[in-house]
Amino acid sequence: MFATYLIGLREGLEATLVVSILVAFLVKSQRRDRLPQVWAGVGLAVALSVVFGWLIEYTSTSLLARSEDRELFEAVTSVAAVVFVTWMIFWMRKAARTIAGELRGKLTEALAVGSLAVAGMAFLAVIREGLETALIFYSAAQSAAGGTGAGALLSLAGGVATAVVIGFLLYRSALKINLSKFFTWTGALLILVAAGILKYGVHDFQEAGVLPGLNNQAFDISSTLDPNAWYGALLAGMFNITAAPTVLEMIAWVAYAVPVLVLFLRKPASPARPAAPAAPPAATGDAATTPAEPAAVATPAEPTEPAAAEAPTTTATQRA
């Protein structure tokens, strides 16, 4: 359940920050008349995300009659969810410093076009998070409990609700958190969750007959890791760590989790500054007696970007 809560919290906070930036920009720009269009775009994005999640569940439970087809469908959605999670956490780490400026620029352009452009801009800013949430939630819930039950839905809703509260408090400047550290820690946890989803997808591929080795277990520690105990349920629910995995499942888990965690936690290298041009050699001989050409007027150098540093504690209002 904690895995689905984490998904709701992480994705919900990203969407909430986007909306907070848009709303704060409109309020500061004295364009409150455009707020209804922003909320209309957000509402449409949320509605379509819910429909997309329902469609995935309906396809799995009603449209696919054979168990092999259902296993294959769940395996494909699991792999797609892992791709989305990986792309999302690396994109957020890269775009966290510039997302506010980019959104303000796009919203300025949309304001010049009209109401539909403002609603469309808000819709596109939120729909990506909503579709990702629906797909990742379905795969995580299948991996953890073998089905999207009421408990998983409540956990997801709780995570989204927590994200909305945090986003509102950030907007009102009542709460300050280090967003850089928040996204780093939650990103690392989501990588482990994604590794478990990938492991579950490999198991589904094996049950569907696409991959071999369904009965070839890597180890069996059922006597130590009781799946019915609270700690066994916690490990299985969060990271899909089971007592008797297959060899291919473990290979997939380790092959994904280790390199992706290393790449994610590694500090990005600071861009190298260009070297100053060498001074021209002094003139000698006859050249020294010739009149020198007038020196070119020096133009002011472009400001260099500061070296990357730890993101300070920020608020949504400051970002706007």
pLDDT in tens, 151-208: 677 778 888 888 888 888 877 766 676 777 777 888 888 898 889 889 989 999 998 8
Who contacts 248 (Cβ-Cβ below 8 Å, separation ≥6)? 202, 206, 211, 212, 213, 216
pLDDT of residue 315: 43
pLDDT at 76 > cutoff 80 = yes
**Phi, psi torsion values for 31, nearest 5 degrees:** -125, 50
Pick the residue with more confidence: 222 or 268?
222
The three-class DSSP label of residue 282 is: coil
Task: State the number of CA atoms in the 13 A half-sphere of 303 facing the CB.
Answer: 3
Write the secondary structure of 199-225 as one string of H (helix), E (strand) and C (coil): HHHHHHHHHCCCCCCCCCECCCCCCCC
Q: Which residues contact 311 (CB under 8 A, 6 or more apart)?
A: 96, 97, 178, 179, 180
pLDDT at 310: 41
Instruction: Encode pLDDT of 26-64 as tens digits.
Output: 888 888 888 898 899 989 998 998 899 889 888 887 877
Residue 7 contacts residue 140 (beta carbons within 8 Å): yes
- Rounded distance, CA 125 to CA 20, Å? 11
- The whole-angstrom separation of Cα 162 and Cα 169 is 11
Q: What is the largest CA-CA distance in the chain?
A: 95
Q: What is the DSSP letter of 292?
A: P
Which has more pLDDT, 298 or 188?
188
